[in-house]
Amino acid sequence: MVEVQTAKVDTLKQLATQLRIDSIRCTTAAGSGHPTSSMSAADLMSVLMSKYLKYDFEKPELANNDRLIFSKGHACPLLYSMYKAAGAIDDKELMTLRKFGSRLEGHPIPKLLPWVDVATGSLGQGLAFGLGMAMSGKFIDKLSYKVFVLLGDSEMAEGSVWEAFHLASHNKVDNLIAILDMNRLGQHSQTELGWDSAAYAARAKAFGWHAIEIDGHNLDAIDKAYAEAYATTDKPTIIIAKTEKGHGWPEIANKDGWHGKPLSEEQAVEAIKFMGGESNIVIKVGKPASTDFAPKKNSGAFECPAYDKGIATREAYGDALKNLGAVNPNVVALDAEVGNSTFSDKFGKAYPDRFFECYIAEQLMVGAAVGFGNRGKVAFASTFAAFLARAFDFIRMAAVSRADIRLCGSHAGVSIGQDGPSQMALEDLSMMRSIFESTVVYPSDGVSTAHLVNELSQVPGISYMRTTREKTPILYKTTDTFPIGGSKTLRTSKEDKVTVVGCGITLHEALKAYDELKKDGINVRVIDAYSVKPIDAKTLIQAANETGTIVVVEDHWPEGGIGDAVLDVFAAHEQGEGLSNGVKVVPRVVKLAVKAMPGSGTPEELMNAAGISAPHIVKAVKAVVAK
């Protein structure tokens, strides 16, 4: 039996009208926005917030609050109007929509509004976010909350939506309820399926969902659909609601050319008058069921694995993740069907209830990780580094959400060998460095990998670890520390002529080059820049002041990688960084990087062909010293 708030049909209708009118008012005041996309879903949201949504707006942090995600984030005028109707904001603030300094931005942002869980607006992402939240509640926290995701029909063409469909049904996530606002019109024309509700239902059912087709403006039908969704078990539900874009005012209802276009002041006055005038209904949204839920706490300190021989950093990642999971019950791991290569399966075998296989669906994996992170989980998501590129928009939006997720990309660079360039991430460091306030690390041995996994578990924001396919020698002791923003100077003397900077596989090539150069009487400093972002500017500046030249060697394209991270240290910035930050000598920076499209071959052959092996480092250093 579903417990609902008391709400009469007349009240529901009045509230829906208010939501439409307020969506018009705030967008007209802003001079931009999406009133018609908001008006189509007003009836759906009126019934939801009046009778079914369980949410304490005074305590948005409550673990058992239902979650509401507007995947069609451009319809946020409706969302903000709902906040007004719930008494969370007042009318004055509603009228600040899209104005500089307002919390009510053109798409919802969680950092600004405590009732927003994730940033949306890049279509096709909300269902993946919601799935992560729903799985966290159902499988880990054992809470009763529901996750509602409002979808637009245009975004149903996005593959990422169907990635979420497949995993939600596979895992029988019955606390996830999608609401499709099928208003027929996209940005410039009819959507792919228009009002073909049966086609959407057939696709949803084929993916294992329970599908309910309704008239999205029939309040009784909407009410019954929500009740049916609540009563459905063992599978997620989608409510497919046929609606009109701009419903409520005949002048714009179901008419093309009104997407993202506010009404003029004159049109707004006419529309509001037609719909019965402004109102200020405030409803009492139901509170969630009380619970004594409390976040789980660490049971001990992280233990760094001990290695007596070389190991691939990708395997050390798996060892560290397993050890971290032993002491931190909030750690969850997601993988894209390569867990036996990323070695996240070590965690999965130890803690199967906290491991989530996403199959070959990298966008979904990142989106679900964001959802888990939103629910207080320490989420690690891993796959081949090259394949994270297809999830870049999800990563970018995760940063907009101020999400906390940790990504690990294995099999990076030409050093992976025979698989060829389709598998070689040569863009990943550039990609991840470009993410707002991201953290990027690239360990060189098993010990540093393990310590950095633990460090990333405590770092807020988006973080990325690059791991190597080949085994590498152990360089460090388990008692060493690897703070984010640090580095390790492995070879140094007062006679150093050049500084060589590497990390990951190229650090070992730099150490080989050091031995060869030493034989010829040339001393070089070797720095392990394991923290690529933030990079250890202090150590690099000291090295520049003392040696004058820095040779950076990386298994990556020259654009945007470690070499550019080093160069940024010495760039002059208006904020007082760079040249004014203790730099006495502006160094010559030589970048050894992959410059030609690689093919197949052994790691040694490919690194040599790319010009990033020890002999090439020796040659570059000697060329510098000879000048």
Q: What is the DSSP letter of 107?
A: S
Instruction: Please count the CA atoms within 13 angstroms of the CA of 288 that sit on its side-chain side.
Output: 22
Q: Which of 577, 584, 515, 482 is nearest to 543 (CA)?
A: 584
* Whether residue 288 has a cis bond before it, omega within 30° of 0: no
CB-count exposure of residue 462 (10 Å: 0-12, 13-18, 19+) = buried
C-alpha 405/C-alpha 138 separation (Å) is: 20
Q: What would the pLDDT profile of 529-546 be if each residue is shown by its tens digit? A: 999 999 999 999 999 999
Query: What is the SS3 assignment for 567-626?
Result: HHHCCCCCCCCHHHCCCCCCCEEEEECCCCCCCCCCHHHHHHHHCCCHHHHHHHHHHHHH
C-alpha 558/C-alpha 69 separation (Å) is: 40
Q: What is the DSSP string of 487-520?
A: -EEEE--TT--EEEEE-THHHHHHHHHHHHHHHT
Q: What would the pLDDT profile of 347-386 be if each residue is shown by its tens digit? A: 999 999 999 999 999 999 999 999 999 999 999 999 999 9
CB-count exposure of residue 545 (10 Å: 0-12, 13-18, 19+) = middle
C-alpha 136/C-alpha 152 separation (Å) is: 24
| Angle made by CA atoms 379, 103, 54, in degrees to the nearest 5 | 60
The residues pairing with 311 across neighbouring beta strands, listed in sequence order, are 472
pLDDT score of 324: 98
Can you tell me whether residue 406 is helix, strand or coil? strand
**Active site annotation includes 362:** yes
Structure tokens at 271: 């529309």
| Angle made by CA atoms 180, 183, 187, in degrees to the nearest 5 | 110
Cα separations in angstroms, 433 against 59, 441, 571: 35, 10, 16
Residues near 17 by Cβ (< 8 Å), separated by ≥ 6? 42, 248, 275, 276, 279
C-alpha 236/C-alpha 130 separation (Å) is: 12
Query: What is the SS3 assignment for 201-217?
Result: HHHHHHCCCEEEEEECC
C-alpha 206/C-alpha 217 separation (Å) is: 26
Q: What would the pLDDT profile of 81-131 be if each residue is shown by its tens digit? A: 999 999 999 999 999 999 999 999 999 999 899 999 999 999 999 999 999
Helices marked H in 96-212 — which ranges?
126-135, 159-170, 197-206
Cα separations in angstroms, 600 against 145, 606, 612: 51, 8, 16
Residues near 194 by Cβ (< 8 Å), separated by ≥ 6? 184
CB atoms closer than 10 angstroms to residue 87 = 13
pLDDT score of 3: 39
Residues near 101 by Cβ (< 8 Å), separated by ≥ 6? none
294-298 long-range CB contacts below 8 Å, 24 or more apart? 295/330, 295/376, 296/329, 296/330, 297/329, 298/327, 298/328, 298/329
Residue with tokens 């109707």: 85
Which of the residues in the chain have pLDDT under 70?
1-7, 572-580
C-alpha 156/C-alpha 106 separation (Å) is: 21
Contact between 487 and 528 under an 8 Å Cβ cutoff? The reply is yes
Predicted structure pTM score = 0.95
C-alpha 168/C-alpha 135 separation (Å) is: 9
Average pLDDT, the chain: 96
pLDDT score of 580: 58
Catalytic residue selected from 163, 362, 427, 509: 362
Q: What is the DSSP string of 340-353?
A: HHH-THHHHHH-GG
pLDDT score of 577: 54
Cα separations in angstroms, 202 against 160, 198, 211, 219, 624: 18, 6, 8, 24, 67
pLDDT score of 586: 86
Q: What is the DSSP letter of 101?
A: T
pLDDT score of 2: 36
Structure tokens at 319: 């060892």
Contact between 194 and 240 under an 8 Å Cβ cutoff? The reply is no
Residue with tokens 């410039």: 188
C-alpha 81/C-alpha 38 separation (Å) is: 10
pLDDT score of 571: 86
Q: Which of 396, 409, 465, 407 is nearest to 437 (CA)?
A: 396
Cα separations in angstroms, 471 against 201, 446, 503: 50, 9, 14
Q: What is the DSSP string of 270-320?
A: HHHHHTT--------PBPPPP---------S---PPP-SS-EEHHHHHHHH
Structural domains present in the chain = 9-274 (3.40.50.970), 311-472 (3.40.50.970), 488-626 (3.40.50.920)
